[in-house]
Structure 1
Amino acid sequence: MRDPGGTDGITGARRPLLDALRGVAIALVMLTHADSATFGSAGMVGVTLFFTLSGYLITGLLVRDLERYGRIRYGRFFGARALRLLPPLLLVLAGYLVIEGAVGLLGRRELLGQTVLAALTYTSNLPLLPHGSGSFFHLWTLATEEQFYLLWPLVLALAWRHRAARAVVLVGVLGSLAACAATIGYEWPDVARVYALPTSWSVALLAGCGLRLGRERAARLLPGTGGSRRALGVALLAVLAALALLPGLSATAAMYLLVIPLTAAVSAALVLLASGPTALPSGPARAPLRLLVALGTVSYAAYLWNLPIQQWLGDPGTPGAGLLGAALTLLAATVSWWAVERPAAALRRRWETPEPARAHAVVPAAPEPAA
Structure 2
Amino acid sequence: MTTSAVTASPVQGTRIDGLDLVRGLAVVLVMARHAFPDVAPGAGVVGVVAFFTLSGYLITGLLVQEHDRHGQVDLRRFYRRRVQRLVPPLVALLVPYTLVTALLDPLDDRASLLRDLAVAVTWTGNLPHLVPDGATFHLWTLATEEQFYLVWPALLAACLVAGRPRRALGVAMVITVAALLATAWWSAGSPEIAYALPTSWAPAFVIGAAARLLPLRRSLGVPAAAAATAGLLVLAVIPLRGHTWTYLAAGPTIALLTAVLVLAAVHWREVTAWPLSWLVALGTVSYAAYLWNYPLTLWLRPVPFGPLLAALATVVMAVLSWRLVERPLAARWARTSP
| TM-score, length-scaled by structure 2 | 0.92
After superposition, the C-alpha distances for 1:198-230 in whole angstroms (9 at most, x for unaligned) are 00111111111111112xx22x2335xxxxx21
After superposition, the C-alpha distances for 1:289-314 in whole angstroms (9 at most, x for unaligned) are 11011100110000000000111123
The 5 Å alignment of 1:247-258 reads: 247=239, 249-258=240-249
What corresponds to 2:321 in structure 1? 336
Q: How high is the sequence identity, in percent, across the aligned residues?
A: 42
What corresponds to 1:264 in structure 2? 255
The 5 Å alignment of 1:34-113 reads: 34-113=35-114
What corresponds to 2:312 in structure 1? 327
* Structure 1 residue 105 displacement after superposition: 2.0
* Structure 1 residue 170 displacement after superposition: 3.1
What corresponds to 1:246 in structure 2? 238
* Structure 1 residue 181 displacement after superposition: 1.7
What corresponds to 1:139 in structure 2? 139
- One-letter identity of the residue aligned with 1:300: Y
Instruction: Please say if residues 180 and 256 of structure 1, whose CA atoms lie closer than 8 Å, have aligned partners that are also in contact.
Output: yes
* Structure 1 residue 315 displacement after superposition: 6.5
Larger CA deviation: 14-23 vs 339-348? 339-348
- One-letter identity of the residue aligned with 1:240: L
Instruction: Please say if residues 298 and 333 of structure 1, whose CA atoms lie closer than 8 Å, have aligned partners that are also in contact.
Output: yes
Query: Structure 2 CA distance, aligned partners of 1:196 and 1:9?
Result: 36
Query: Structure 2 CA distance, aligned partners of 1:65 and 1:207?
Result: 21
Structure 1 residue ranges without an equivalent (≥5): 1-7, 224-228, 354-371
Query: Structure 2 CA distance, aligned partners of 1:114 and 1:12?
Result: 41
Query: Structure 1 CA distance, aligned partners of 2:76 and 2:168?
Result: 24
After superposition, the C-alpha distances for 1:259-293 in whole angstroms (9 at most, x for unaligned) are 11011111001101011131226xxxx11111011
The 5 Å alignment of 1:160-171 reads: 160-171=160-171
Size of the aligned set, in residue pairs, is 330
- One-letter identity of the residue aligned with 1:94: V
Q: Against the structure 1 CA distance between its residues 108 and 9, is the aligned structure 2 distance closer, same or farther, given a 3 Å change threshold?
A: farther
Query: Structure 1 CA distance, aligned partners of 2:257 and 2:118?
Result: 35
Instruction: Please say if residues 10 and 60 of structure 1, whose CA atoms lie closer than 8 Å, have aligned partners that are also in contact.
Output: no
- One-letter identity of the residue aligned with 2:307: G
What corresponds to 2:17 in structure 1? 16
- Say yes or no: does 1:234 pair with 2:226: yes
* Structure 1 residue 246 displacement after superposition: 0.7
- One-letter identity of the residue aligned with 1:137: F
What corresponds to 1:127 in structure 2? 128
Query: Structure 2 CA distance, aligned partners of 1:237 and 1:107?
Result: 39
What corresponds to 2:194 in structure 1? 194
Q: Against the structure 1 CA distance between its residues 9 and 336, is the aligned structure 2 distance closer, same or farther, given a 3 Å change threshold?
A: farther
Query: Structure 1 CA distance, aligned partners of 2:150 and 2:264?
Result: 28
Query: Structure 1 CA distance, aligned partners of 2:58 and 2:198?
Result: 19
Query: Structure 2 CA distance, aligned partners of 1:12 and 1:174?
Result: 33
What corresponds to 2:283 in structure 1? 296
Query: Structure 1 CA distance, aligned partners of 2:295 and 2:101?
Result: 10
* Structure 1 residue 132 displacement after superposition: 4.1
Instruction: Please say if residues 180 and 200 of structure 1, whose CA atoms lie closer than 8 Å, have aligned partners that are also in contact.
Output: yes
Instruction: Please say if residues 10 and 268 of structure 2, whose CA atoms lie closer than 8 Å, have aligned partners that are also in contact.
Output: no
Instruction: Please say if residues 180 and 247 of structure 2, whose CA atoms lie closer than 8 Å, have aligned partners that are also in contact.
Output: yes
Query: Structure 1 CA distance, aligned partners of 2:133 and 2:230?
Result: 35
SS at match of 1:295: helix
* Structure 1 residue 165 displacement after superposition: 2.1
